[in-house]
Structures are given as structure tokens and as C-alpha cells.
């Protein structure tokens, strides 16, 4: 995707103060994602005790979202509660472009590596425990594609500091750089195997973008795809047996799956739109990816074995409605004025949520050019 950057006057503010306004049918130029949590519920109205299957309160998704025209910030949510994570970051001077993208969770879900672009791309680290931000790279070249090692001791990334893009390692303070690739072609998009022994990446060394793997010390290169098409965005499955990637070998970009030897390839999406940037759910049962099938880039969720992908945020709304109905079932029949008032408020909350879905459909699906969301990462954090 080609983006043209503009300057945006923000500096040193917490990201939760920079999010777009909630969905209340604002002017067209201010459209944003609908709220990621349901309307407020009375304190003494408790949800039912049962939890969704495989419920994990620390399962989180982070992504890059358009904040203003071609200006992106990162945003994170809890996958099960749809509550938003507080993200803080030190932003550049007000006369510089603000674009944050390519967020990558550490395996414990407590730190985020990301790219902040305002003159060149630089890699930063955000610590959610103390809300601190550390700049890891500082040079006149582009540093991008940060990827945490499973043991959280190193970050792989690509940089053009040698003239073309190569893959490097650094520690979590930006020191002890190790160059892993060395050739005249571009290498990028590193992705660690779950055991940390290998790195999958994209390389043009055979004339076009192919998916390669190498040992984590940079040895033993292997081309897995060997296709005249453009293969990119590798993502290793949580069990280490498969790699998903995006490719235009069918004319448009689709999400493909293969084993770690490059065999048994199959098209997972089979859609005429552009599907790219896959990431796995922590249990390996779902793949979240970026697609323009609604007219602009947004997140879609594919459950393996299912023939179609669902709009991710719309699916979240439907889950919230289901939870509200369960709450209604747990409410006692109103037999006094106070109970009737609580019941009425819950009914209004549910009605508002349904209306928000209709607004989402009208303003974000039928008029989708005002919203871009992409580059997601998914993690189960440690308590």
C-alpha cells in the first residue's frame, strides 16, 4: 500500500487521548471504528457466570488504525471483553509526521515493538506495565518489521542501512546488533518459529518476493515458495507446523497455507479482493488478516475449516449483543419501579448497540473510504 504522509500536531500525549471520537454519526471526515466495548451497565447488574468457550481474559489484539488522513496510530483491545488497552507513547515534535504501524507483541503481552515514521522509520518499544517508551533505533535509514523472539530477549527487524533491506537482530535496548542476511537484494518481514530456532522472511534474492526460512543465527537459507508471483507476509503457526502467507499467484492477493517445508499449499481465502498480512490466533484455530473486500483495508477473521471470513469488528458487535441477551435472561422480572428502571436502561443499551451496528454498516461498509485498519498482532498475555 502506498501512503502519502502529512504533519499532525500532537506531542507527548497518551494514545488513549488521541483516539478518534466514538461512533455517534459524526461528520464524514471524522468517521472511526465504533466503540469497542458495550454501553455502560449498571453496577449491580451482573453478567451470567458462564464464559465463552476458550475464554482467556488476557487475549489481546493490537493493530494500526487511521487517525487522520494517511496518519496512523496503534490501538489494542482485549479479544474477549472488547475493552481497550491503554497505550502511551512519546510522539515526535508537532511539525513532524505521525505514523505508527507494524505493532508486534512480546510473548507475555506486556510490551509492544512498533515503527514510528516521521522522517524515516525508527523502532520503538512500549512497556505497558510502566507506560514507558524507549527508542531502539536512531539513524538516517528505515528500520521496520520488528518481530519479538519467543524468549523476549531479541527483536528481529529489517533495515536499509546497508543500501538494501537486510535482516538484523538487536536486544530489547537496541544494542548488540547482529546482521543475519547479506546480499544485494531486499530481505524483510521476519517471523520467528515458536521455538525460536528459525526465522521465516521475505526475500527478492531469486528475482521476486519468495518466502524463505533460515536458522536464527542466519545460517541454512531455504526458499519455500519458488514462485514467479509475489509471496510475502509469512506467519508461523503457534504449533510450529505451518506457515501462512499472502500471494498474488492467483491474480489478486490471497492468504495461503503451507507446511514448513513449503509443501501442501492451499488457498484459504479465495476472494477477488486483496487479502494480506495474516496473523494467527494463539490457539492456532483462526487467522486474522487485512483485506479491502469492503472497499478499504480492514480486519477480517477466518476460522480454519470455515469457507468464509467475517468482518472482525462487526463480529465483535454481534458477540456483545449475544452477551447482552444472556444478561437479560439473568435479570429478575421487574416487580417494582426500581427494577423496571434498571430493565429499561438495559433495554436502551441493547437498542443503542443494535443501532450502532446499523450505523457501522451504513458508514463503514457502504461508505468505507473513511476507515483503514491493518497490521494486526494477536497474543495471550501472562497475568
Summarised one tens digit per residue, pLDDT across range 3-37 is 322 222 333 333 333 333 333 322 222 223 344 33
C-alpha to C-alpha distance for 225 and 210, rounded to whole angstroms: 6
Listed range (36-50, 93-107, 121-135, 284-298) with the worst mean pLDDT: 36-50
User: Does a structural domain hold residue 287?
Assistant: yes
C-alpha to C-alpha distance for 17 and 4, rounded to whole angstroms: 24
In terms of C-beta distances under 8 Å and separation of at least 24 residues, what long-range contacts does 360-365 make, across chains too? 360/23, 360/34, 360/313, 360/314, 360/317, 361/314, 363/23, 363/25, 363/28, 363/31, 364/31, 364/33, 364/34, 364/294, 364/298, 365/294, 365/295, 365/311
User: Does a structural domain hold residue 318?
Assistant: yes
Q: Which residue has the higher pLDDT, 45 or 349?
A: 349
Residue % of the chain over a pLDDT of 90: 51
Tell me the mean pLDDT in the region 126-134: 90
pLDDT digits (tens, 9 = 90+) for 189-234: 999 999 999 999 999 998 899 999 999 999 999 999 999 999 999 9
pLDDT, residue 97, reads 60
pLDDT, residue 33, reads 39
pLDDT, residue 94, reads 53
User: Does a structural domain hold residue 329?
Assistant: no
Q: Which residue has the higher pLDDT, 157 or 361?
A: 157
pLDDT, residue 213, reads 98
User: Does a structural domain hold residue 130?
Assistant: yes
Tell me the mean pLDDT in the region 279-302: 92
Q: Which residues pair with 236 in a beta bridge?
A: 243
pLDDT, residue 332, reads 65
Listed range (19-23, 181-185, 216-220, 236-240) with the worst mean pLDDT: 19-23
C-alpha to C-alpha distance for 123 and 170, rounded to whole angstroms: 11
pLDDT, residue 80, reads 80
Task: Place 304 in a pLDDT band, splitting at 50, 70 and 90.
Answer: very high
* pLDDT at residue 147 greater than cutoff 80: yes
Q: What angle do CA 359, 363, 364 make, to 5 degrees?
A: 105
pLDDT, residue 6, reads 26
Listed range (6-10, 281-285, 365-369) with the worst mean pLDDT: 6-10
User: Does a structural domain hold residue 332?
Assistant: no
C-alpha to C-alpha distance for 149 and 304, rounded to whole angstroms: 26
Task: Place 313 in a pLDDT band, splitting at 50, 70 and 90.
Answer: confident
C-alpha to C-alpha distance for 229 and 135, rounded to whole angstroms: 36
pLDDT, residue 188, reads 97
Whole-number average pLDDT of the chain: 79
User: Does a structural domain hold residue 248?
Assistant: yes
Task: Single out the residue of 121, 106, 91 nearest to residue 10, CA to CA.
Answer: 91
* pLDDT at residue 371 greater than cutoff 70: no
Residue with cell 507475555: 108
- Mutual angle of helices 337-360 and 312-330, in 10-degree steps: 170
With a CB cutoff of 8 Å and minimum separation 6, the contacts of 295 are 365, 368, 369
Task: Place 331 in a pLDDT band, splitting at 50, 70 and 90.
Answer: low
In terms of C-beta distances under 8 Å and separation of at least 24 residues, what long-range contacts does 4-9 make, across chains too? 4/70, 5/70, 5/71, 5/97, 5/99, 5/117, 6/68, 6/69, 6/70, 6/71, 6/97, 7/94, 7/95, 7/96, 7/97, 7/98, 8/67, 8/68, 8/71, 8/97, 8/98, 9/94, 9/95
Range of the domain at 159: 15-324+350-380
Three-state secondary-structure class, residue 356: helix
Task: Place 361 in a pLDDT band, splitting at 50, 70 and 90.
Answer: low
Residue 41 sits in a domain of what CATH number? 2.120.10.30
C-alpha to C-alpha distance for 126 and 335, rounded to whole angstroms: 51
* Winning range, highest mean pLDDT, from 40-54, 119-133, 243-257: 243-257
Task: Place 65 in a pLDDT band, splitting at 50, 70 and 90.
Answer: confident
pLDDT, residue 298, reads 87
Three-state secondary-structure class, residue 365: helix
C-alpha to C-alpha distance for 149 and 341, rounded to whole angstroms: 53
User: Does a structural domain hold residue 92?
Assistant: yes
pLDDT, residue 344, reads 76
H-type alpha helices, the chain: 312-330, 337-360
pLDDT digits (tens, 9 = 90+) for 72-125: 889 898 888 777 888 876 665 555 567 899 999 999 999 999 999 877 899 999
User: Does a structural domain hold residue 26?
Assistant: yes
Tell me the mean pLDDT in the region 36-45: 37
CA distances 186 to 56, 161, 164, Å, are 39, 12, 6
Contact 157, 123 (CB under 8 A): yes
Count up the domains in the chain and report the number. Answer: 1
* pLDDT at residue 346 greater than cutoff 90: no
Amino acid at each position: 500500500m502506498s501512503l502519502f504522509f502529512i504533519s499532525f500536531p500532537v506531542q507527548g500525549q497518551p494514545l488513549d487521548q488521541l483516539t478518534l471520537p466514538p461512533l455517534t454519526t459524526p461528520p464524514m471526515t471524522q468517521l472511526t471504528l465504533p466503540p469497542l466495548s458495550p454501553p455502560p451497565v449498571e453496577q449491580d447488574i451482573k453478567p451470567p457466570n458462564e464464559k465463552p468457550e476458550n475464554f482467556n481474559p488476557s487475549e489481546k489484539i493490537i493493530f494500526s488504525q487511521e487517525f487522520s488522513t494517511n496518519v496512523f496510530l496503534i490501538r489494542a483491545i482485549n479479544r474477549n471483553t472488547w475493552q481497550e488497552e491503554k497505550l502511551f507513547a512519546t510522539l515526535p515534535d508537532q511539525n513532524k509526521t505521525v505514523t505508527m504501524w507494524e505493532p508486534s507483541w512480546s510473548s507475555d503481552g506486556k510490551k509492544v515493538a512498533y515503527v514510528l515514521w516521521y522522517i524515516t522509520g525508527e523502532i520503538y518499544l512500549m512497556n505497558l506495565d510502566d507506560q514507558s517508551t524507549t527508542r531502539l533505533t536512531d539513524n538516517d535509514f528505515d528500520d521496520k518489521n520488528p518481530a519479538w523472539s519467543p524468549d523476549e530477549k531479541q527483536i528481529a527487524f529489517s533495515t536499509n542501512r546497508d543500501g538494501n533491506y537486510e535482516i538484523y537482530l538487536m536486544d530489547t535496548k537496541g544494542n548488540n546488533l547482529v546482521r543475519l542476511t547479506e546480499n544485494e537484494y531486499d530481505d524483510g518481514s521476519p517471523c520467528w518459529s515458536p521455538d525460536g530456532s528459525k526465522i521465516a522472511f521475505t526475500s527478492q534474492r531469486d528475482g521476486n518476493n519468495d518466502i524463505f526460512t533460515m536458522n536464527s543465527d542466519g545460517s541454512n537459507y531455504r526458499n519455500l515458495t519458488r514462485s514467479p508471483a509475489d509471496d510475502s507476509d509469512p506467519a508461523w503457526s503457534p504449533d510450529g507446523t505451518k506457515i501462512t502467507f499472502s500471494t498474488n499467484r492467483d491474480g489478486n492477493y490471497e492468504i495461503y497455507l503451507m507446511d514448513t517445508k513449503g509443501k501442501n499449499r492451499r488457498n484459504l481465502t479465495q476472494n477477488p479482493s486483496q487479502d494480506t498480512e495474516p496473523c494467527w490466533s494463539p490457539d492456532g484455530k483462526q487467522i486474522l488478516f487485512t483485506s479491502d473486500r469492503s472497499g478499504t483495508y480492514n480486519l477480517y477473521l477466518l476460522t480454519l475449516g470455515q469457507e468464509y471470513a467475517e468482518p472482525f469488528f462487526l463480529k465483535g458487535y454481534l458477540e456483545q449483543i449475544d452477551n447482552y441477551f444472556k444478561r437479560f435472561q439473568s435479570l429478575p422480572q421487574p416487580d417494582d419501579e426500581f427494577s423496571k428502571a434498571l430493565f429499561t436502561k438495559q433495554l436502551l443499551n441493547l437498542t443503542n448497540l443494535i443501532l450502532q451496528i446499523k450505523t457501522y454498516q451504513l458508514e463503514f461498509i457502504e461508505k468505507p473510504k473513511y476507515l483503514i485498519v491493518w497490521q494486526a498482532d494477536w497474543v495471550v498475555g501472562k497475568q
